[in-house]
């Protein structure tokens, strides 16, 4: 009986799903390397490497995943809160990312300039402008969802289709290049660590501290579980839902600036394309219910990096970028199908039947 009990404990652990998924991805990598005659553990090897542009940096597949998965991880923080409080998803984050990046680059380069090496305004103004734009977008979504009581997916659909277009308009239909080392710093390396990863870590740390030290985390969950009961208990449900959308927009702004800094330009059509799907997938993969309520931030972050690990692995296996979505789709369906009520009931019945047999 004892091993059964501990297995149950493991299964009940909140990070069970994301960790298992991550382990599975690692297994695939190990097997693939072993079959091809490489060092089976080459997935985990991290070395120091000299580069001409960034000096000495850490190098390895894990570092690459941590670096490239940063945007999705940053988005996943905000998305987790939004899903928890309003039982809906913010599908505009990818477009808002693009808008924030465009606005930031437009401020830095000046309107109508397509390529610049000198900054028109101090760097901090541009970055704060981008972040402010993200917060404004979040406020727009939040107002519609919290105060107009519109379904989250529909409310965010407006910015989903408009934000990218507004960004393009701000950039005068051009791709604005800001080829300045101070702007490129957000997407480069800080010491030996990739800066995007450092930014993600800071974002996660701040959010975690705020959620743990103040009652905000509990408020968000209680609104998500039952907003009417929370209101009767004295919480301002609407304001809390509104706040989660503003936070989500702000994080979209951060992710947008990181992404545009990586390519030192504001490519409105491609920044954050399909990234909202990755963020939602990260939340689901992190073991969070998309129906709102309790959330697990660590799970979402691990989920985001797992998705990046899956993407990197698929590329390593020779799947092209355009074909990779097929696998993502299969993974999403498997996860949500396992979480669904009828399937869970089916497994419960099975294990109950087994239990009865064992007793008899």
293 binds another protein (CB under 8 A): no
- What does the alpha-carbon distance between residue 305 and residue 69 come to, in Å, rounded to a whole number? 5
Residue 245 in contact with another protein, rule: CB under 8 A: no
236 phi, psi to nearest 5 deg: -90, 85
Report how far residue 177's alpha carbon sits from residue 117's, in angstroms, rounded to the nearest whole number.
Answer: 8
Residue (68 or 164) nearer to another protein, CB: 164
Q: Pick the closer one to another protein by CB: 120 or 324.
A: 324
Report in angstroms the alpha-carbon separations of 219 from 90, 283, 309: 19, 19, 33
Decide if residue 114 touches another protein (CB under 8 A).
no
Q: Provide the minimum distance between the beta carbon of 324 and another protein in the complex, in angstroms, as a whole number.
A: 7
Residues 152-171 that bind another protein (CB under 8 A): 153-155, 157-162, 164-166, 168-169
Among 3, 342, 357, 360, which residue sits at the site for another protein (rule: CB under 8 A)?
342
Among 16, 32, 193, 327, binds another protein (CB under 8 A): 327
Q: Which one of residues 58, 101, 144, 301 is an interface residue with another protein (CB under 8 A)?
A: 144
Cα(137)–Cα(96) distance, integer angstroms:
7
Q: Rounded distance, CA 11 to CA 145, Å?
A: 35
Judged by CB under 8 A, does residue 184 bind another protein?
Answer: no
Site for another protein in 8-37 (CB under 8 A): none
Q: 3-class DSSP state for residue 266?
A: strand
Measure the CA dihedral 53/56/61/63, to 10°. Answer: -100
Options 74-82, 178-186, 245-253, 336-344: segment touching another protein (CB under 8 A): 336-344
Choice between 105 and 144, CB closer to another protein:
144
- Positive or negative, the CA dihedral 305, 306, 311, 312 is positive
- Using the minimum distance from each CB to another protein, give the nearer residue, 125 or 150: 150
Beta strands 176-178 and 115-116: pairing type?
parallel
Interaction mask 63-102, another protein, x per CB under 8 A: --------------------------x-------------
Quote the CA–CA distance of 2 and 113 in Å, as a whole number: 69
User: Could you give the C-alpha distances from 181 to 108, 116, 262, in angstroms and in order?
Assistant: 13, 11, 11
Q: Which of 262, 242, 305 is nearest to 105 (CA)?
A: 262
Give the range of 37-45, 200-208, 224-232, 338-346 binding another protein by CB under 8 A: 338-346
Tell me which residues touch another protein (CB under 8 A): 89, 144, 148-151, 153-155, 157-162, 164-166, 168-169, 172-173, 277, 280, 284, 290-291, 320, 322-330, 332-333, 336-337, 340-343
């Amino acid at each position: 009986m004892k091993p059964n009990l501990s297995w149950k404990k493991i299964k009940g652990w909140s990070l069970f799903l994301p960790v298992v998924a991550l382990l599975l991805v690692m297994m695939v990598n190990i097997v693939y390397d072993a079959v091809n005659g490489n060092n089976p553990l080459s997935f985990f090897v991290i070395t120091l490497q000299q580069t001409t542009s960034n000096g000495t940096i850490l190098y390895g597949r894990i570092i690459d995943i941590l670096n490239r998965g940063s945007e999705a991880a940053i988005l996943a923080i905000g998305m987790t809160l939004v899903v928890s409080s309003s039982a809906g998803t913010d599908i505009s984050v990818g477009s808002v990312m693009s808008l924030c990046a465009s606005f930031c680059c437009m401020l830095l380069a000046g309107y109508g300039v397509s390529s610049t090496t000198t900054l028109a305004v101090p760097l901090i103004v541009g970055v704060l402008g981008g972040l402010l734009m993200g917060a404004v977008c979040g406020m727009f979504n939040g107002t519609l969802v919290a105060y107009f009581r519109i379904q989250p997916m529909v409310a965010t659909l407006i910015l989903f289709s408009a934000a990218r277009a507004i960004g393009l308009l701000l950039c005068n239909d051009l791709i604005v290049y800001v080829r300045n080392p101070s702007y490129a710093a957000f997407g480069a390396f800080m010491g030996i660590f990739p800066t995007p990863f450092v930014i993600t870590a800071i974002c996660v740390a701040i959010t975690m501290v705020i959620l743990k030290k103040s009652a905000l985390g509990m408020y968000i969950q209680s609104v998500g579980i039952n907003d009417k009961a929370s209101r009767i208990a004295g919480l301002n449900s609407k304001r809390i839902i509104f706040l989660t959308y503003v936070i989500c927009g702000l994080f979209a702004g951060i992710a947008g600036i990181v992404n545009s800094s990586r390519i030192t330009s504001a490519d409105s059509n491609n920044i954050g394309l399909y990234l909202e799907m990755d963020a939602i997938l990260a939340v689901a993969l992190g073991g969070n219910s998309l129906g709102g309520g309790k959330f697990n931030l660590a799970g979402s972050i691990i989920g985001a990096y797992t998705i990046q690990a899956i993407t990197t692995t698929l590329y390593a296996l020779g799947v092209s970028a355009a074909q990779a979505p097929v696998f993502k789709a299969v993974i999403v369906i498997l996860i949500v199908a396992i979480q669904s009520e009828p399937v869970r009931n089916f497994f419960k019945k099975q294990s109950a039947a087994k239990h009865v047999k064992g007793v008899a």
